[in-house]
Amino acid sequence: MTASTTTTPALETRGLTIRFGGHVAVNDVSCRFTPGTLTSIVGPNGAGKTTYFNLISGQLRATSGTVIVGGEDITGLAPSARTKRGLGRAFQLTNLFPQLTALENVRLAVQSRADAGWSLLKVWNTRRDLVEQAEAVLERVRLADKRHIAPKALSHGDQRKLEVALLIAMEPKVFMFDEPTAGMSVDEVPTVLELINDIRKRGDATVLLVEHKMDVVRSLSDRIIVLHNGALVADGDPAEVIASPVVQEAYLGVEVARD
Ligand SMILES: Nc1ncnc2c1ncn2[C@@H]1O[C@H](COP(=O)(O)OP(=O)(O)OP(=O)(O)O)[C@@H](O)[C@H]1O
């Protein structure tokens, strides 16, 4: 294990399990995620990666096991309550307000975070701040020049950047990305990866990344865990895990074989 055992984990799962009928999609997964690290979760199709994410973010309820954020057991909480505890998951743009501009959407995300901790009056008094913060986030994801465009009019790559912007605006402690480069053209991929790398380098954010492209995983990760048939079968340093038989077998002839 590369995760430090002395630092309080930002996120921890203990014995996390979900069954669909007779099928165990996530099977007794115990794992600690340390602040300031990026962990990639890999494994073959159907291994349970997205289901693991759904259990962490609350889209699915575990059959057994616990999810702990910042030392607090959040297993019984709804997704929105988990978001307030600092769990942030990037979702496709279906969550956006299509009639609003990119800037207005990001401002709403900034505001939803502000509302969680501030009085409404204070939010009103700092409206200008909220817009400035939203603009700063759009700068950071290099969408400042497109701030007045509606999300659906953005290119696919810019839409993915906007998704990252919304997540950044909510200032979560844990950032969760499920295949953030899926469906992107080759030239759009590096910008989104740079943004994720930038999140990881700033402060003590904890980043979880589900990604199939092994070259991406290798370049970004501090640690890799491997799920196979719902179980955690490898965990550690990226080079070691990528070289392990289970990963070699799962990805043989695909990305790994190219290097
Ligand atoms: N709601 C559900 N009902 C029944 N079975 C489900 C449900 N959600 C997931 N599964 C099953 O759980 C297993 C794990 O699926 P999951 O989508 O988590 O895998 P994955 O590792 O994310 O795969 P991929 O890389 O293809 O996205 C699969 O066999 C899937 O069919």
How confident is the model over 143-159, as pLDDT tens digits?
A: 999 999 999 899 888 88
Domain end residue (candidates: 125, 153, 171): 171
Q: Is the pLDDT of residue 125 over 60?
A: no
Domain end residue (candidates: 120, 151, 171): 171
Write the CATH number for 26.
3.40.50.300
User: Quick one: 219 and 232 in the same domain?
Assistant: yes
> What is the CA(22)–ligand 1 centre distance, in A?
13
> What is the CA(20)–ligand 1 centre distance, in A?
10
Q: Is the pLDDT of residue 25 over 90?
A: yes
> What is the CA(49)–ligand 1 centre distance, in A?
8
- CA atoms within 13 Å, Cβ hemisphere of 188: 14
Mean of the per-residue pLDDT values of the chain: 87
**80 phi and psi, to 5 degrees?**
-65, -40
Residue 253 structural domain: 1-86+173-259
Q: Which of 30-34, 185-189, 203-207 has the lowest mean pLDDT?
A: 185-189
Q: Is the pLDDT of residue 99 over 50?
A: yes
Confidence of residue 252 (pLDDT cuts 50, 70, 90): low
User: Quick one: 123 and 246 in the same domain?
Assistant: no
What is the average pLDDT across 169-195? 88
User: Exposed (0-12), middle (13-18) or buried (19+): which is 28, by Cβ within 10 Å?
Assistant: middle
What is the average pLDDT across 58-67? 97
Closest atom of ligand 1 relative to the 179 alpha carbon: 27
What is the average pLDDT across 231-241? 94
Closest atom of ligand 1 relative to the 60 alpha carbon: 1
Confidence of residue 34 (pLDDT cuts 50, 70, 90): very high
Number of domains in the chain: 2
User: Quick one: 204 and 79 in the same domain?
Assistant: yes
